[in-house]
Amino acid sequence: MLEQRAADRKPFPRDKQKSTNESQLEEWSLGPSHYGFIDESCLTAERHGAIALVSMRLGAFGKVREAFHDPFESWPSSREAKFEYVRGEAKAQAASRILLRAFELADQGLIRVDILHWDTQDRYHSVYERDDAQNANNRARNLIRRVCVDRWIDARSWVLYPDKGSIVDWASCAERLQLGQRLGQAKRFQIRESESGDHNLVQVADLFAGAAAFSANRPSSLWGERNDSPRLSGGDRYKRQVVERLLEELEPRGVRRTEGRGLSTLRTHKDAAINFWPFRTPSGLGYAPRRNSQSGIRTP
């Protein structure tokens, strides 16, 4: 059954609160076993979009949140840490510290970070009057299924915290996943849309999603430009710096950046705790959903 928000539950403690008492995290029958924090980048603004999910067991949450405290303290702005706000050396360095801390925690087995990204101009998505909202729902469902059902096999119940304001209907995604699971093996999902500024881990998801989308949306010529090149905007210069630092950690973990595809994890490393997953159209799948279409086009 899909669990929804209720007025009588205590809210999830925001990162600005000092308490890390896990008994205060949720008042939910039996309690959730796992948490996920979700954000996306460029779902409609550019050619490549991305959604990232940072996931962990309930017992790891306190340690994970505490571990991110110092890197977030280095973010030189009162605004939340988002990839689109990376402009200038100080923000580039702070974003890199946050991302590197995620690698440390993943290496300790405390978190997973999974990023799904796709090309809206590939064969599947390049259709007249494409329904971007429904397509984003399909990709979000792909990601949640891959992570919450397939990767965390021992999970019994999830609380997912996606960023508010998305075109994705998160409750519908979770409900469809719930209905599609085998009887007796179903995992429960509770959706709690949140402001990204309220939860540092939603901002971690944003940084990974933003890096994935940026690496695919910028041409190879950008990566060969010198930092002082007039062809580089201030924002692109420092965002590229973050992605290049990220790649130093990713390449030994089987991640490569390729023209037109961005960051992708090699099949030999498909079980890695930090995984960049470019959507590939399965054979015979058809095409992306279109607005006002009742044709019953199959979607994954």
- What is the band of 261 on the pLDDT scale with cuts at 50, 70, 90? confident
pLDDT at 107 over 90: yes
Rounded Cα gap, residues 251 and 248, in angstroms: 6
Helix (H, G, I), strand (E, B) or coil at 251: helix
pLDDT digits over 271-288, tens only?
A: 899 999 988 776 666 666
Mean pLDDT on 35-53: 89
Average pLDDT, the chain: 81
- Beta-strand ranges (E) seen in 110-251 are 112-119, 157-162, 188-191
Give the model's confidence band at 132: pLDDT under 50 very low, under 70 low, under 90 confident, else very high.
confident
Residue 131 has pLDDT above 80, yes or no: no
Confidence of residue 40 (pLDDT cuts 50, 70, 90): very high
Q: Can you say how many angstroms the Cα of residue 148 is from the centroid of all Cα atoms in its chain?
A: 13
CA distance 61 to 77: 25
Q: What is the CATH number of domain 29-278?
A: 3.30.420.10
Bridge partners, residue 163, by sequence? 194
Say what the pLDDT of residue 122 is.
66
Q: How far apart are CA 152 and CA 132, in angstroms?
A: 29
Residue 124 has pLDDT above 50, yes or no: yes
Confidence band of 184 (pLDDT split at 50, 70, 90): low
Q: Where are the beta strands (DSSP E) in 47-156?
A: 48-57, 112-119
pLDDT score at 289: 64
**Alpha-carbon gap, residue 174 to 176, rounded angstroms:** 5
Contacts of 129 (CB under 8 A, 6+ apart): 290, 291, 292, 293
Instruction: Examine the pLDDT at 183 and tell me if it is beyond 60.
Output: no
Higher pLDDT, 83 or 258: 83
Domain coordinates in residue numbering, the chain: 29-278
Residue 48's DSSP bridge partners are: 119
pLDDT at 249 over 70: yes
More confidently predicted of 179 and 101: 101
Exposed (0-12), middle (13-18) or buried (19+): which is 151, by Cβ within 10 Å? Answer: middle
Per-residue tokens: 31: 């309690």
Q: What is the pLDDT of residues 194-215, one digit of tens each?
A: 888 889 999 999 999 999 999 9
Residue-level pLDDT at 167 = 87
How far is residue 181 from each of residues 82, 114, 123, 153, measured CA to CA in Å? 34, 21, 29, 13
Residue 286: per-residue pLDDT: 67
Read off the tokens for 114.
């999974």
SS3 149: helix
